[in-house]
Structure 1
Amino acid sequence: MASAALTSLIATLDLETERVPDIHVPPSLSATLDSLFLLNWRISDGVAAAAIKDLETKIKDFALQVEDDFEIQLSNFLHAQDTQSQQKASMQIFDILIQADMDAQELLSFIKRNIYRAFAASEFQPAASTNPRLKHYAPESSKTKRVFEEYKMVGRQHDYGVIKDRLLCHNDKLKVISIVGMAGIGKTTLAVSLYGDPQVASHFKARGWVTMPHQEYQESQLLWDLLESITLALAEPNEVEKGSCGLTKLAEQVRKCLLGKRYLIVLDNFWKECNYIQDCFPDDTNGSCILLTSYKYLKSGYFKSSQYDYVHHKMTLLGSNESWDLFCNILSLNGCVVSKFEKIRVDVVEKCDGLPQSIAVVAERLSKCNIILKEWEKIEKELELLGTLDRSALTHHYNQLPHHLKVCFLYLAVFPRRSKIQVKVLIRLWIAEGFVKQPWSLHGMLEDEAYCYLEQLILNSLLLIDNQSFDGKIKSCRMHSALHSFCIREAQKEGIFCALNIRKYPTGIPLKVFANSCRWLSLYSHNFDYYVLFRENNSRSILFFNENPEMFISFKLLRVLAFVPSSFLQRAPMRLSDLVFLRYLSVTQWFEGLNCIVSTNMNLRTLVVSGNESQLGAPTIHLPCEIWDLPQLRHLELGNMYALDPPFQMEDRKFLQTLSWASPTLYGKEAYCNFRNLRKLKIFYRGGSCSNNNPLMLDSIDYLKKLEKLTISVLVGCTITLPEQCMFPLQLKKLGLSETNLRSWDLSVISMLPQLEVLKLENAIHGNIWEVDKGGFNKLRFLLIEDRKLEQLKTYLSCFKCLERLVLRLCCCLEEISWFLAFHVESIELERCHPSLIEAAMQIQEAGKKILKRKIEIIIRGPEYDESQNTHKMEVVEDDFTRPPA
């Protein structure tokens, strides 16, 4: 796609030209590339798109070719053995940029001449109007949908009840209710059910329904459909003839029909801002309601009236039991015996992934066949290849995204279907690929900007949240399998992506054909067809989610090597010197050949060496200090078996944000003072000699002004002490300590940190008693204690004022906790703890319920307890409360 190619080219020119002295990108070339971006957004879906698709192809081919030519010559420059060869390569780079400038201007002129001509030549036809005379004045597009509507409330009772209560609530304000969710999740079906509910229908004097088409439409047509729907429901004649008036008169007529009446208007598939339609809805303070369905989040301030109540209702996927219930209902409707489908129950639930539309389509297909297993094999392959969602609707949805989000969305195809995607990994990959623009703010970070991209994709229902941290930050996300199918096909169609299953690749075709035919090569198991490009397209990114393949890959232009088995790189040590453009590298373990990568990559931004968890007494592997010479390094994560000496030169490493490393000694200010933008620091201490009588002094690190998360782990038997109260940065939000044996004074220091929200103590407390200081941990929201020897935890009413969640794990000696926690905590989670502690937690729950009128959730985990208790809100009989006062 042109957007991906242009984004990649601009990022490459911005970053790589700094490596060649006296070579700069011509300002006119930068301006022309920006102009091509502005024109490219006009090449969208609709009738005109087919006529000018070749224009977008021209932009894409131009950008890819310029980037290839530039990087190949830059590679020659960086590998030049003498001054003459270097000068020759430098001149060729200069010529490439000058030629690219001229070609870009010529292309821009060509696009301008032809884009408007193509739009003018195409006959733009307005979308077919929705038919308000259908059942409940709502559209029914297929038999499958009608079948689904008959069983519309399966798994949606909660959604139905919540929105119905809002519709019927006694509130005179105008209400705007937005039902949001991904395609096929049942937004329209839910709206149809509510629209036709007898109570809802009798509550509103006037009702109207209009569905916005996926493609472009005429605004007058939309207003006409709405007017016709309202007058039909009111059994009143339509005083306006179709085509006889403009927008203003149509809007006035709609407003006239609604004036003075309590009305319900449904705007289905509301994807585009329509300022003109707002004037149609009077606010007579009589409890009228506008119900919207949309795939994207709508801001609460969208409608002009400042008095309305706004409700945003997010629809979620069905659970496994709800999915099967819906499947069985549709089968029963078609006269099928449900029991004979039990053999494929698990597969159906997994492949449909909780999406009602997929379930409905599959159930319809299977209800008409005689040989279930054979038909299911066909359906399963189609689900993996094509999905069940309307491709034209998804294409329209995708085309509404700005270019930077389009390319970020397509990149999600590199991850396996139904996989959990770590947000930090995704963000770093986006940055390495050059998709993320530097924020306008001087202090803005690329990671923050990329996180905003992620949120926008989620708000557009293109990504799902998988897991969130306690402070609400998204830790992992995933793409629904139906959207994943669309994403893969779009990326493949644009000639930039290939997903290769090395276990099932076509025989007779060398693996290098795949490796050298796409920009993004991802190795993972899948069931869809293989896509081979017939043009040479040097790979820029390779991601390993599968076994180590035996293939030849040209390293010359690679910028991303992710999750790489080190054995793959060890087989070709002589080629590692070609990796001069690498920006992202994550490998399973370090080997000597990686030293040359570190020494030749001035643009390496992320370096992750996972390794195996180090065992006690295992030797430490020391990595070369040249790692600190990487000027663009932003994230350095090393497994705990790797040690790295601190940088000797006192240079400001302003880009470094994440540092995770093992250290033979605990370093002081000289090691960290130049990491002024460090946000996350993890230290694993595994060397030296220390004991309780000879504790290790942790130096002050309060000069790390931006540090938000700190994790410290040490060997069992060592003791760390804190020198003074200011040793931690005052803005620290998350702190994890493991095997540190901190004394009461040290814990007092931690309790006074003003911004601390999360604290994890894993065998970190010296002794068997912890008495929390009065007034301590005022901002703490999450506390985890894992300690086999802790016997007493003493707290006061003034402690933990903001604590929401308490987790006690492996507390075998702790028998009770203070009833003061009932004043603050919302949930207590116990895992393999003393039975008396469970009883104490239940009494705290009862104290909160009867004395403080608060609900406290008790969660019990562990092999000795019934799994059904995991989320059970325990109810206990009334007793005399021996711990809390009556």
Structure 2
Amino acid sequence: MASFALGSLMATIKLEFLQPNPRVPLDDDTRGSMNPSFKSLRMMEFFLESKPAGGLEMKIRDFALEAEDRIEIQLSNFLLAKDTQDQEQASQQLRQTLREVSKDGSKLLNQCYEEADDDEAPLIPWLSETSLRLQPPKLERTMVGRRHDYLLVKNQLLFGGDEQRVILIVGMTGIGKTTLAASVYEDSSVASHFGVRGWITVSPESNVRQTLHDLLLIVAEPDDETKKRSTRDETLAKQVSKCLEGKRYLIVLDNIWNNKAWGAIRECFPNDSNGSRIVLITTHFDQGSYSCSYDHHVHNMTLPYDHHVHNMNLLNPKESWDLFCSNPFLEQHMEPKLEKLRSGILEKCEGLPLSIVTVAQRLSKCNNIKREWKKVEKELELLGVLEDNTAFTLRYNQLAQHLKICFLYFGVFPKRSVIQVKQLIRLWIAEGFLSPLRHGRLENQAYKQLLQLIDRNLVLIDKRSFDGRIKTCKMHSVLHSFCVREAQKESFFCALNTQQLPRGSFSMFANSCRWLSFYTHKFDYYVLFRTNNPRSIFFFQEDVEISVPFKLLRVVAFAPSSFFQRVPTHLKDLVFLRYLYVTEWFEGLDYVVSTNRNLQTLVVSSKESQPGTPTLHLPCTIWESPRLQHLELGNSYVIDNPPSVVKNNMQTLSWVNPSHCREEVYYRLPNIKKLKIFFKDDLEPSHLQTGRPCNNPITLDNLDYLVWLETLTILVSAGCIVTRLERPIFPLQLKKLRLNGTNFCKRDLALIGMMPQLEVLKLENAFHQKIWEVDEGGFRQLKFLLLEAKQLEQWIVNEESFLYLERLVLKFCYCLKNIPMEIPNIGTVKSIELQQCGRSVVASAKDIQESKYLCRNGNLKIKIEGCEYDES
């Protein structure tokens, strides 16, 4: 992938040599050549974006990968030089390398220009087999399942008013979009309802003229002279529109590849208010492009068409098995044998109809089902599909260059894993996938690119947070296999299962790719590429005994401390780290962090400490990394001293020593957005411990100085007492607040209730009073409330409070008599959940479920988990 390799090279040059005060002093000649060299690379990038370069594209990729290797190796030699003489020699070699890269890049750019002048734009051929494109696929059997989908789409066609309507059937490749549309299209009531029906399967090679000509073949009368092919798109569009005028029509456009294909022809469909319908079948839905009329000159969007989007979901286990057993090739006597394989088949197919049907056909044609299933299982794990995957390849090739690399990156995670979006975005940034924009943060840019992959049904949403943002995502195993295969082809990725390799045999893979991932997979695939130094390592296996070069590593993710303890002498080589995630602190980590000026993310993830577990005090050298943005420590760790300088880049910080909660410290963290504070009785460093009883009060104050803070978590361990000053202590723009063990009083909750931006509040054993009366107008913007209050008996809610509440979770509310009647009357409330609550409040929830309040709020769902608490 030339575009990514080129982008990575440019990011390295910009980071290391074009910033103020670079790590390596350059002479005037070398410094003067850097900007022209960077400009040549940018021109090469534009060339790739405007025109795929074939063989020249491979040359660009190889040039960029090799150039970045050479530059970073020489830069590493300079940074690791032992004395002045070695450093000067390394500096000379680096300057020489930069000049050679600049010269080679200029030569390659000239080749790009020469090839661009020689080539003529290729003509898109008219497809043969017109008749195959202009009819729906033949259905070999009745559609199984999808009854609900079938009725919804059918009703959209037959009912809902006389205005023209565009119906989009959207879903990933192989999910059954075309089968559903064809079943509805052939329905007798649908066929008789429309005067004109037409079906066109759009090819990715089709141009606008061909699609318009196909439409004309469908809508024109058999002897109509307008069927003769026109040379102008405008003429064809007018002819199509004229033929459809006054007629109630149903036109299906199957396999729409991009928004542009629809936008170019939508104006040829007249709206005569007679109930006409257009169905678009696509894997990619961009509502702004599909349903909006877009003026490229004034950038104004209008909505001329009524439209409906029907998203296709994967089948659930029952639907999957019904579809599998409905295969006409399967004989009745085979079902008992297949039942034994049921769990394996359902796991591997993951609800994708294409996989289910193909597996059923394969197993129906064999004598030994068990043996054949082992072959099928291996193919599914390796390839993802059992037949030609051209559709996936075409879909991948349609992606923009910047989306391709983000898509392939999902291969580094194990198959069927749930991925934290927060982690994914930080990794993309650390890898250099995103170019900084003039306005806007990289995190927002990365999130938009994730949304584009989701819109194209290449990535699935797993869970959303309460503000609607995507919290976790995942990838279907079919697409994951495709990712791994394509990333290996591009010489970027290798996945290893060290548990299935003979000891010591994996040293050959150490230099074979840029992303090296260790995870367990049943069937291994090994592809060796030209030698490359790995930039990223991912650990999804424990006790991985492998030695890899450290010199060029940018990302080390989910690494066990045992990995570093086996190679302590190599820690000094880690000079390019941008992202470091380790399972626990290890000796030498403070050196690694303090010497990495490009480090953006540091996560030391320990298991939740139990009461009495001693706190590990970490050195303040952690603060020395100038670009550190995200510092997350398990609650067993604390940094003794606060930062001594302003940390403008810091956005995420946990856990914080309560002694740091001072005005002068917060002024050094002006842009912090997410903060966690942990109050524990042994947080003082050993040399400062004074024998203070753990029940001495600790003051919580000054948080309002953090003017950009959006998320705050405060945890107080048993035995600690936290006091507050009279004035409000929380920043007014705070959106999410979690309090655990704070023992706040009614006055504190009243102040929290007045916070204007607060949307999420979690009160976990945060106050111990028996009555909580919410002030009028309190918590107006709150959408989610978790309330854990073991001693609370009565909860009084004013009608003007909780106006936008969507979800309420009551946890361990043993003594609460009932849920306030005002809560289910809030129109926005979608769910009330009870976890391990007392009998009275459980009975109250059941009454709400069966009473008139449910009628006033049709979306309300009641969920009760755990055993009822028995007061006796």
Specify the alignment match of 1:411 in structure 2: 409
Q: Which of 465, 470, 475 is 2:461 aligned to?
A: 465
- Aligned to 1:727, what secondary structure does the other structure show? coil
From the superposition, tell whether residues 646 and 263 of structure 1 become closer, same or farther in structure 2 (CA, over 3 Å).
Answer: farther
Cα distance between partner residues in 1 of 2:223 and 2:117: 42
How far has the Cα of 1:391 moved from its partner?
Answer: 2.5
Deviation at 1:642, TM superposition (A): 0.3
Correspondence list, 1:565-644, <5 A: 565-644=560-639
Distance 1:126 1:660 in 2: 61
Q: Choose the corresponding residue for 1:741, options 740, 743, 751.
A: 743
Amino acid across the alignment from 2:832: I
CA displacement, residues 240-263 of structure 1 (integer Å, 9 cap, x when unaligned): 455465433332332222111111
Whole-angstrom distance in 2 between the partners of 1:439 and 1:334: 60
Moved more, 545-554 or 528-537: 528-537
Aligned equivalents of 1:642 and 1:490: distance in 2? 41
Q: Could you tell me which residue of structure 1 aligns to residue 806 of structure 2? A: 804
- What's the secondary structure of 2:197's corresponding residue? strand
Alpha-carbon shift at residue 158 of structure 1 (Å): 2.1
Deviation of 1:664 (Å): 5.7
* Matching residue's letter, 2:773: E
Of the candidates 206, 225, 234, which is equivalent to residue 248 of structure 1?
Answer: 234
AA aligned opposite 2:279: L
Aligned to 1:286: 274
1:29 aligns with 2:37: yes
The equivalent of 2:862 in structure 1 is 858
Q: 2-side partners of 1:166 and 1:344: how far apart?
A: 39
Distance in 2 (CA, whole Å) between partners of 1:133 and 1:66 is: 48
Please tell me whether residue 836 in structure 1 is matched to residue 840 in structure 2: yes
Aligned partner of residue 681 in structure 2, secondary structure: coil
Taking structure 1 as reference, are residues 815 and 279 closer, same or farther at Cα in structure 2, changes over 3 Å only? closer
Report the residue type matching 2:209 in the other structure: S
Deviation for aligned residue 1:289: 1.5
> Post-superposition shift, 1:4?
2.0
Match of 1:652 in 2: 646
**2:381 corresponds to:** 384
Structure 1 range deviating more: 704-713 or 574-583: 704-713
470 and 664 in structure 1: CA distance in 2 versus 1, 3 angstrom threshold: closer
1:619 Cα offset (Å): 1.4
CA contact (8 A) 2:330 2:360 kept: no
1:538, CA displacement in angstroms? 0.4
- Relative distance call for 1:364 and 1:130 in structure 2 (3 A) is farther
What amino acid maps onto 2:474 in structure 1?
Answer: R
Q: Provide the rounded CA distance (Å) in 2 between the counterparts of 1:705 and 1:128.
A: 65
**Cα deviation, residue 331, structure 1:** 4.8
**Deviation digits for residues 479-523 of structure 1 (CA, Å, limit 9, x no counterpart):** 110011111110000111100010112x48732211111110000
CA displacement, residues 667-697 of structure 1 (integer Å, 9 cap, x when unaligned): 2222222222211111111126999985432
Kindly state the Cα deviation for residue 335 of structure 1 after the two structures are TM-superposed: 6.0
CA 1:129 to 1:780, structure 2 compared with 1: closer, same or farther past 3 Å?
farther
> Using the alignment, how far apart are the partners of 1:217 and 1:133 within structure 2?
11
Q: Deviation at 1:762?
A: 0.9
Q: Take 1:191 and 1:432, find their aligned partners in 2: how far apart are those partners?
A: 43
Q: Pick closer, same or farther for the CA change 1:127–1:92 going to 2, 3 Å.
A: farther
Q: Tell which deviates more after alignment, 401-410 or 16-25.
A: 16-25
| Residue 421, structure 1, aligned to residue 423, structure 2 | no
SS in 2 for 1:176: strand
Counterpart for residue 113 of structure 1? 114
Contact 2:716 2:741 in 1 (8 A): yes
Q: 2:305: which partner in 1?
A: 308
Question: Is 2:222 the partner of 1:223?
Answer: no
Deviation at 1:540, TM superposition (A): 0.5
Deviation at 1:334, TM superposition (A): 6.1
Question: Please, which runs of 5 or more residues in structure 2 have no aligned partner?
Answer: 294-301, 683-690
Once residues 165 and 606 of structure 2 are traced to their aligned partners in structure 1, the CA distance between those partners, rounded to angstroms, is 56
Tell whether the 8 Å contact from 1:724 to 1:749 is kept in structure 2 after alignment: no
Q: Contact between 2:825 and 2:853, CA under 8 Å: does it hold in 1? A: no
Is 1:97 the counterpart of 2:102? The answer is no
Note the 1:457-606 alignment, pairs <5 A.
457-505=453-501, 507=502, 510-606=505-601
More displaced, 34-43 or 478-487?
A: 34-43
Q: How far apart, in 1, do the equivalents of 2:42 and 2:436 lie?
A: 15
Structure 1 residues 247 and 316: alpha-carbon distance in aligned structure 2, compared to 1, 3 A threshold:
same
User: 1:456 deviation in Å?
Assistant: 1.0
- Please state whether the residue corresponding to 1:607 is helix, strand or coil: strand
Q: After superposition, where does 1:803-822 map in structure 2 within 5 Å?
A: 803-822=805-824
1:846–1:15 CA distance, 2 compared to 1 (3 A): same
CA distance in 2, matches of 1:693, 1:745: 22
Deviation (angstroms), 1:324: 0.9
One-letter amino acid of the counterpart of residue 614, structure 2: P
Q: Which moved more, 1:337-346 or 1:603-612?
A: 337-346
Change (3 A) 1:119 1:527: farther
Is 1:445 aligned to residue 453 of structure 2?
no
* 2:596–2:625 Cα contact (<8 Å) kept: yes
User: For residue 624 of structure 2, what is the amino acid of its counterpart?
Assistant: D
Amino acid at match of 1:787: A
* Distance verdict in 2 for CA 1:605–1:352, change over 3 Å: same
- TM-score normalized by the length of structure 1: 0.90
- Find the counterpart in structure 2 of residue 206 from structure 1: 196
Kindly indicate whether the alpha-carbon contact (under 8 Å) linking 1:5 and 1:64 is maintained by their aligned counterparts in 2.
Answer: yes
Name the counterpart of 2:145.
Answer: 155
For 2:585 and 2:854, locate their aligned partners in 1 and report how far apart those are by CA, in whole Å.
Answer: 59
Q: Render the CA deviation track for 1:764-783: whole Å, top value 9, x for unaligned.
A: 11333322222211111111
**Separation in 2, partners of 1:331, 1:350:** 22
How many Å apart are 1:855 and its aligned residue? 5.0
Equivalent residues of 2:462, 2:473 under 8 A apart: yes
> Quick one: distance in 2 between partners of 1:485 and 1:183?
14
Q: Structure 2 CA distance, aligned partners of 1:108 and 1:527?
A: 45
Q: Which amino acid counterpart does residue 107 of structure 2 have in structure 1?
A: E
Query: What is the CA–CA distance in structure 2 between the aligned matches of 1:807 and 1:328, rounded to whole Å?
Result: 41
Return the alpha-carbon distance in structure 1 between the equivalents of residues 55 and 522 of structure 2: 31
Q: What SS does the aligned partner of 1:375 have?
A: helix
Other-structure match for 2:709: 707
Indicate the residue corresponding to 2:314 in structure 1: 317
> Structure 1 752/13 Cα, relative in aligned 2: closer, same or farther at 3 Å?
same
Q: Is the 8 A contact 1:520 1:542 kept in 2?
A: yes
Q: Cα distance 1:743–1:55, how it changes in 2: closer, same or farther (>3 A)?
A: same
Q: SS of 1:210's equivalent?
A: strand
Pick which of 829-838 and 527-536 moved more: 527-536
- One-letter identity of the residue aligned with 1:784: L
Question: Structure 2 counterpart of 1:401, which letter?
Answer: L
- Contiguous gaps of at least 5 residues in structure 1: 45-51, 141-145, 866-886
Counterpart position of 1:271 = 257
The alpha-carbon distance between structure 1 residues 551 and 513, as it changes in their structure 2 partners (threshold 3 A), is: same
- TM-score using structure 2 length: 0.92
SS of 1:830's equivalent in the other structure is strand
CA positional deviation for 1:361: 0.7
- Among all aligned residue pairs of Structure 1 and Structure 2, give the percentage whose two residues are the same amino acid: 52
Match of 1:360? Answer: 357
- Residue 736 of structure 1, CA deviation: 0.6
Cα–Cα, structure 1 residues 107 and 571, in superposed 2: closer, same or farther, change >3 Å? same
With 630-639 and 330-339 compared, the bigger mean Cα shift is at 330-339
Q: How many residues align?
A: 839
Tell me the distance in 1 between the aligned counterparts of 2:43 and 2:487.
24
AA aligned to 1:89 is A
Task: Quote how far apart the aligned CAs of 1:854 are.
Answer: 4.7
The alpha-carbon deviation at position 653 of structure 1 amounts to 1.1
Q: 1:331 and 1:399 mapped to 2: Cα distance?
A: 35
Residues 528, 850 of structure 1: CA spacing in aligned structure 2 closer, same or farther, 3 A cutoff? closer
CA contact (8 A) 2:658 2:677 kept: no
State the shift of 1:227 in Å: 2.2
1:733 to 1:65, Cα distance in 2 relative to 1, 3 A? same
Cα separation, 2, equivalents of 1:479 and 1:579: 32
